[in-house]
């Protein structure tokens, strides 16, 4: 066991979640740090603490109650928290993140007890540099930041959106092993347009309508400058920004520092990786497909953009590749006649559509898609008639209902299997129980961004990348597809089980770092030293012996 010099004493040591070991403090440590009388007599081990914690978690009635308990453990003893996740990540990932995180964000003001991360609010904008200057933050390497305007499929949650950066960074650690003290969740509190929150006496954020666009842009600019000044080598991960802001922010700053948007790039990478895996089962190439995407926001357009880049990399001319895409919004198919197209949507708007408004059913019937992707945030949109129509013209339809939480999924996997006579290749955005098909239970794949962003972050840190390029996102998608069970078994799952998230993160990290080297956005390194670079950033939830400083 490694030895660590510790300066805190007594209650201060027990109050530090990075150092607290609870009942696992040894007799010698209790002598040295003045812990006698503050702890019960029993001395425990980490394994035993995990057993006890999991037994109690199992006794709780709902995933939300388990989420609240796990967050309490995280805020008191981070090593124990991550040891629990390491013991059974597949069981607890849906508890600490989607779908349970949606309810946690809605009730954030009610369950908030302990400070975690930073809240940078508009009224305190002149204190930003002072807040970021805290010496405890000197070794931060990854920031996840949100303004809470478009949380999952729930819309504007104000400071409740802070639950997302906390959850995402928990997965950076649980999946990729990035040390907790090197991560920092940040909430940009620029107000909320959620009238229910503004009227609530319980709401803990700034009770004000969201600031105007000019003020908002200035605040974002101030934040980016302050972060870059404080941490020049930071990976800045943008999360759950409204579509009108997400893509412009990413494009504005991606050449200034190392920035990444998971809603755009992470969703795109895991979706493309899933489709590449499905191609193993259907014996197809991307250029063989016709894509219909329901939802033309940042996620939908991000998926289309990455698919387009990948098709061009396969050798498909851009004009031909673009002809394969149909993006449907609630008003209908995006065409060159559609009002208020943003730059991303304009690229995929159809000039050749001769039909009516182009709702989903009409488009599917007209173009016979082979891939149907849902990113609209509205449950049940992939109806039986639509799915059967698609399946009538496609041997192995690929259907990805990606919206979350679970209630917002465009279709239920069991229905998709029934409506396609079991021919569907399906992966969802939220967890579902296994499906019994032809006498066998089949795991439902989850197209979860956690397959991508922890590995991308680890790869960026390992190689010291200055930017996250489109090529690096493409490499991450290919890396994920390379470990698909369908690669060797056409009837197998498309994605590895959640229990293998750490292994997936290492593969994605290696692919990301090698592509960064190929594009010259990091320092040169030899192939045989890459794993050593990665291992330097991998932290394990283990207690260390403490020595008084």
Residues serving a catalytic function are 97, 168
For the chain, what is the total number of helices (H) and then of strands (E)?
Answer: 24, 16
Rounded to whole angstroms, what are the CA distances from 144 to 131, 165, 220, 429? 16, 5, 14, 20
> Tokens 């290492």 correspond to what residue?
506
Contact criterion met (CB below 8 Å) for 421 and 402: no
Whether the CB-CB separation of 469 and 261 falls below 8 Å is answered with: no
Q: Which two tokens stand for residue 457?
A: 């972050």
Strands 371-374, 291-294: pairing is: parallel
Beta strand segments in 166-297, E? 183-189, 235-238, 258-261, 291-294
Residue 446 contacts residue 431 (beta carbons within 8 Å): yes
d(C-alpha 406, C-alpha 379), whole Å = 8
Cα dihedral: 107, 91, 240, 482 (round 10): 180
Which long-range contacts does 311-320 make (Cβ < 8 Å, 24+ apart)?
311/286, 311/287, 313/474, 314/285, 314/286, 314/287, 315/287, 316/286, 316/287, 320/287
Any idea of the CA torsion for 513, 519, 523, 528, to the nearest 10 degrees?
50
User: What residues have CB less than 8 Å from 485, skipping those under 6 apart?
Assistant: 492, 493, 494, 495, 496
CA count, 13 A, side-chain hemisphere, 545: 6
- Residue with structure tokens 């679970």? 406
| Angstrom distance (rounded) from CA 187 to CA 173 | 19
Structure tokens at 454: 């922890």
């Amino acid at each position: 066991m490694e030895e660590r010099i510790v300066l805190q004493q007594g209650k201060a040591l027990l109050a530090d979640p990075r150092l607290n070991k609870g009942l696992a403090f040894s007799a010698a440590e209790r002598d040295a740090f003045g812990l006698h009388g503050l702890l019960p007599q029993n001395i425990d081990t980490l394994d035993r603490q995990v057993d006890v914690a999991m037994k109690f978690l199992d006794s709780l009635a709902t995933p939300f109650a388990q989420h609240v308990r796990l967050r309490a453990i995280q805020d008191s003893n981070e090593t124990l928290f991550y040891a629990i996740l390491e013991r059974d990540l597949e069981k607890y990932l849906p508890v600490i993140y989607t779908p349970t995180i949606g309810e946690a964000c809605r009730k954030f003001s009610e369950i908030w007890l302990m400070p975690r991360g930073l809240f940078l609010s508009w009224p305190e904008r002149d204190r930003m540099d002072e807040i970021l200057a805290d010496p405890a933050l000197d070794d931060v390497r990854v920031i996840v930041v949100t303004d809470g305007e478009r949380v999952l499929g729930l819309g504007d949650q104000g400071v409740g959106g802070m639950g997302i950066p906390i959850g995402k960074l928990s997965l950076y650690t649980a999946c990729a092993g990035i040390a907790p003290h090197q991560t920092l969740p940040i909430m940009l509190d620029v107000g909320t347009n959620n009238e229910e929150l503004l009227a609530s006496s319980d709401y803990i954020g700034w009770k004000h309508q969201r600031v105007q666009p000019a003020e908002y842009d200035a605040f974002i600019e101030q934040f980016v400058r302050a972060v870059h000044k404080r941490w020049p080598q930071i990976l800045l991960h943008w999360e759950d920004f409204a579509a009108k802001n997400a893509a412009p922010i990413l494009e504005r700053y991606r050449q200034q520092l190392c920035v990444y948007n998971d809603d755009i790039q992470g969703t795109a990478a895991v979706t493309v990786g899933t489709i590449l895996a499905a191609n193993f089962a259907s014996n197809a190439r991307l250029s063989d497909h016709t894509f219909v995407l329901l939802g033309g926001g940042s996620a939908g357009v991000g998926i289309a953009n990455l698919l387009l880049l990948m098709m061009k990399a396969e050798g498909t001319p851009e004009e031909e590749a673009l002809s394969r895409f149909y993006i449907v919004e609630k008003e209908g198919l995006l065409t060159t006649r559609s009002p208020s197209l943003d730059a991303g949507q304009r690229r995929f708007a159809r000039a050749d559509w001769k039909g009516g408004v182009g709702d989903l059913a009409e488009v599917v019937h007209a173009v016979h898609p082979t891939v149907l992707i849902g990113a609209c945030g509205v449950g049940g949109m992939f109806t039986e008639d639509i799915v059967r129509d698609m399946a009538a013209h496609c041997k192995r339809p690929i259907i990805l209902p990606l919206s979350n939480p679970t209630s917002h999924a465009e279709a239920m996997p069991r229905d998709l299997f029934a409506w396609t006579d079991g021919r569907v290749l399906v992966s969802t955005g939220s967890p579902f129980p296994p499906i019994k098909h032809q006498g066998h239970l089949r795991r439902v794949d989850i197209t979860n961004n956690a397959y991508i962003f922890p590995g991308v972050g680890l790869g960026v840190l390992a190689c010291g990348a200055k930017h996250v390029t489109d090529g690096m996102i493409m490499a991450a998608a290919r890396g994920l597809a390379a470990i698909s069970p369908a690669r060797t078994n056409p009837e197998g799952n498309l994605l590895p089980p959640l229990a293998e998230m750490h292994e997936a993160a290492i593969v994605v990290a290696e692919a990301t770092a090698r592509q960064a080297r190929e594009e010259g956005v990091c320092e040169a390194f030899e192939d045989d030293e890459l794993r050593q670079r990665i291992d330097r950033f991998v932290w394990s939830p283990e207690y260390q012996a403490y020595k008084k400083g």
